[in-house]
Amino acid sequence: MNILVILPVYNKAATLSRAVNSVLQQTYTDYKILIVDDGSTDASASIAQDLKSDAVEVLVQKTNQGVSAARNIGLNYAQENNYTYVALLDADDYWQPTHLDTLIKLTQSFPNARAFATNYILKRPRKTYKTKFSNLLENEQQQLEFFFTNNFLNPVLRCSTVMVETKALETIGLFNKSYTHFEDIDWFIRIGMNVPVAFTKKVTVSIDETAMNRSDRVDMKLRRFPDFKTYDGNVENHEGLGKYLSLNRYAIALAYRMENDIKNATQYKQAIEMEHLNGKQTKLINMSRLQLKSLKKTQRVLGNLGFHLRAGE
């Protein structure tokens, strides 16, 4: 059950070694790490070369093409070299030593599943947060029968927590390189629509949101989001998908509103099914930029934009 661990890197000199070492410390050892340096301009490429070993391979791109392109290089590599599974790890984040072992045990407990994920904690500047999920069973391990209904608070899948059967990529597809933000959400939608997902509540991953160059710090004018129209026709076939799309559109609309980009904010707002929002969310989506800026809670919620929104807050 060999695993390719795909680790995309762009200017992550401060955290790259920590991420790689967290993989090298895994109790499950049938894996290979593929670092894909996406045209870094700091010391990342040099650090990656220093980390190179029998267990660590490094590919360097001369120009920055975006995280989706870097991940896709890894996914293609896994397919070409017949790896059984692909696991992703962002260079800001890190695993507990039992992460891969926990995922392998999920494959044994749920042989029909094709995607697998563990729980995680969120590290933010002032505090570390535990996750909350919607509509999960009490069982620690479970196959998610209605995947989208479990994602109304925190996302069940994060790139650093998920492992996918390589053969399933033929159905799921690769990351869409035209998106700079929410590209992971787009991929997770295709996972949820096309393959069974198994999940454990056991925390094995730390998502570090304190890094200075995470993509949520990119200027809104440079961000390219999915509009999710591709999936509107599938709403009737997947319970919870309609609300999931609305909540992500809500997150993007608020981000644009905060930047006073009325045109894009309105475009995403008009696509929201308003009955999918709770009272607080409805109030927020109808506020002006100045009103939103004045709300400390809104600022905290919007701190995740560019990745995910805790839409239930």
Domains with residue ranges and CATH for the chain: 3-216 (3.90.550.10), 219-302 (no CATH)
Q: What phi-psi label fits residue 306: left (phi over 0), alpha (psi between -120 and 50 degrees) or beta?
A: left
DSSP structure string for 210-263: T-TT-GGGS-GGG------HHHHTTGGGSTTHHHHHHHHHHHHHHHHHHTT-HH
Residues with Cβ within 8 Å of residue 142, at least 6 apart in sequence: 136, 198, 199, 200
pLDDT bin (cut points 50, 70, 90) of residue 307 is: very low
Q: What is the 3-state secondary structure (H, E, C) of 133-173?
A: CCCCCCCCEEECCCHHHHCCCCCCCCCCCEEEEHHHHHHHC
Token digits for 206?
Answer: 């730390």
Global pTM?
Answer: 0.92
pLDDT at 218: 64
Percent of the chain at pLDDT > 70 equals: 92
Asked if pLDDT for residue 8 goes beyond 80, the answer is yes
- CA distances 246 to 51, 134, 231, 252, 309, Å, are 42, 16, 11, 10, 12
Residues with Cβ within 8 Å of residue 278, at least 6 apart in sequence: 312
Residue appearing with tokens 């933010």: 124
What's the rounded mean pLDDT across residues 226-233?
Answer: 96
Token digits for 30?
Answer: 């049938």
pLDDT at 121: 97
Q: What phi-psi label fits residue 5: left (phi over 0), alpha (psi between -120 and 50 degrees) or beta?
A: beta
Q: What is the pLDDT of residues 137-173, one digit of tens each?
A: 999 999 999 999 999 999 999 999 999 999 999 999 9
pLDDT bin (cut points 50, 70, 90) of residue 300 is: low
Helix (H) or strand (E) holding 285: helix 279-285
Asked if pLDDT for residue 311 goes beyond 50, the answer is no
